[in-house]
Amino acid sequence: MVKVACLQLAPRASFKEAEEEIEVHFQSAVDQGAEFIFLPEYCGGLTSRNGLLSPPVAREENHPVLHQLQAKAKNDNVWVLCGSIAIEGTNEFFRNRSFVINNHGEIVARYDKIHLFDIKLSETLEYRESAVVEPGGQAVIAQTCIGALGLSVCYDLRFPKLYRDLAQNGASILTVPAAFIKTTGQAHWHVLNRARAIENGAFVVSPCAVGDIPGGGASYGHSLIIDPWGQVLADGGDSPGVIVAEIDIDKAREMRQKIPSLSHDREYEIS
């Protein structure tokens, strides 16, 4: 059994504010005995402007929040998923990048968000992530102290084939760090996360930001830790804080033996 924690953080406008928010909740997770700590999407800061995401951006080697998390992982002897931060890309674009950091403070995996959040829910509610973010093109599985992690970020959650591919290639824990918007979160967040767990016989760990986004919009919260049967082990509710649960990786193996659907895919044609 391994104890994992999700930090449910409020979106902050600057690196400094993001670091301060992390500091408080990270220590709480350590004090509760977490061995692996998961942070949400844009944990390094997030604002919006006219439907465009506008987080503080830095080069990877100079990113203060990434350096903070590496130092804390080493000092507290814990593994960390930096859900995502904005990393300089090409031209005016940036990368929405997730990092897995081991308990020595070393980066062992990187993942750039593949599916970008371009939606129009009404005449006044529209998001165009592709206008500022350079998409990734590589699915990533990270080998960690709690097993093989299949990495994803937020809007990826709506594309089940990604998680199927990750699970069929050995991932027994699927991670979905997010800043899921409140409007769609209320309708879809729980059911989509539980579906990814059930259909893949995997644990799902989904740290989500919570509260108003500076500049407009709001994140849903309700960070989740879900077992392979689809049972919610912990739910972060609608306030900043920490959730903790114990994961027994053998349960994923047992579930896949009982319901071996990952090996039952068949080719078919559509007429």
- Which residue numbers are catalytic? 41, 113, 154
* CA neighbor of 166 nearest in space, from 132, 202, 133: 202
Contacts of residue 54, defined as CB under 8 A and 6 or more positions apart, other chains included, come to: 46, 47, 48, 132, 215
At residue 239, what is the residue type?
A: S
Q: How many other C-beta atoms are found inside a 10 Å radius of the C-beta of residue 159?
A: 12
